[in-house]
Structure 1
């Protein structure tokens, strides 16, 4: 993720980040992510990881909409994770961890679905990040990366190397945003 601390601390200030996500029009992408997870028919007790969670809005919305799931948010910024924990309250289905996508602090085969919404373009090492997503994904699981359409090219190349035996495709979400889908073939 690697860019925290730049842009006047933008990526370490949750309230500013929330305001800027509205200015940049990311809220519809976040809503689409939540709707897609709700439509995924994951089993009760399923686990979802949101990589680059920022202030934790997407995991909180997934948990509200999908009460049978446990949702984990991961971000490089301790300030974002502290904010996410405070705003999540005592919901035991939600947890937040400080960490880097290139070195995920989870066991192998830990998640049924991994999502990343508007963070992949910040990853310092997309290849290492995607390899880690492959490692923590359970057999039969999926990865969905939502990001600027041109930025998905590097994630797609990394996914083709890391996910042998999977179907990989880019989808259009909006004029600027796409979704990379990695699912079993």
Structure 2
């Protein structure tokens, strides 16, 4: 990976400081995290469905989902061991340590069996992926036949995700949507939905 790509992928080193990242970024994105959890809570997912949050950072999204839907099996995955350590501490503080798993892993090489996940969410992570096509291939591989992918990110960044998804998810509906959340209601954030036709 080129030095410039590495710097961007790690948010210029901030990803190596889970506590600082958690304090700085989670506060600003808290309304978005609540929106993602509300979206998952309102989805018609049967009890025991498996939800994977890719690029989980300090684990705020899986914890919010666990609070809204305790009947789901939830996992957060992040490339940074420091972020996963922070996510596990946050889960212990929230009392969800036994209900939410956290795994170190790369979206381009997911440690999951084929067809094992019902819903993939990713929040403000996709624009850091060095190879979106590789990430999409892995999401397609681990998704169950009726499963969905929801990628929340800056609307301009969703174009590259949509482009990468096209050839990987043939026959599925791919749609970009605006996301309105409190302070982020300006239309900067969107969601790419990939679902069965």
1:143 to 126, 144, 149: 149
Cα deviation code 1:142-183 (max 9, x no counterpart): 000000001000100111111111000000114110000000
Q: Tell me the secondary structure at the aligned position of residue 140 of structure 1.
A: strand
Provide the C-alpha distance between the structure 1 equivalents of 2:191 and 2:63, rounded to a whole number of angstroms: 21
TM-score where L is the length of structure 2: 0.88
In the superposition, the TM-score normalised over structure 1's length comes to 0.93
Q: Which deviates the most, 64-73 or 90-99?
A: 90-99
CA offset at residue 138 of structure 1?
A: 0.5
Query: What is the CA distance between 1:18 and its match in structure 2?
Result: 2.1
Give the match for residue 21 of structure 1. Answer: 25
More helix per residue: 1 or 2? 2
SS of the counterpart of 2:45? coil
- Equivalent position to 1:169, from 150, 171, 175: 175
Does residue 35 (structure 1) correspond to residue 38 (structure 2)? The answer is: yes
Q: Which moved more, 1:98-107 or 1:79-88?
A: 79-88
1:64-121 CA distance string (max 9 Å, x none):
1101101010001000001111221263221010011000011011110000000000
Provide the aligned length of Structure 1 versus Structure 2: 183
Q: Does 2:56 align with 1:44?
A: no
Q: 1:22 to 1:113 in 2, by over 3 A?
A: closer
2:45 and 2:130 map into 1 onto residues whose CA distance is 30
Structure 1 residues not aligned, in runs of 5+: none
Q: Verify the 8 A CA contact 1:75 1:98 in the aligned structure 2.
A: yes
Residues in 1 aligned to 2:65 and 2:99: alpha-carbon distance in whole angstroms: 10
Give the gaps of 5 or more residues in structure 2: 180-184
Do residues 158 (structure 1) and 164 (structure 2) align?
A: yes
Aligned to 1:75: 78
Distance 2:129 2:152 in 1: 13
Deviation at 1:22, TM superposition (A): 4.8
Q: 2:114 aligns with which of 108, 112, 115?
A: 108
> What SS does the aligned partner of 1:182 have?
strand
Measured on the aligned residues, the alpha-carbon RMSD in Å equals 1.6
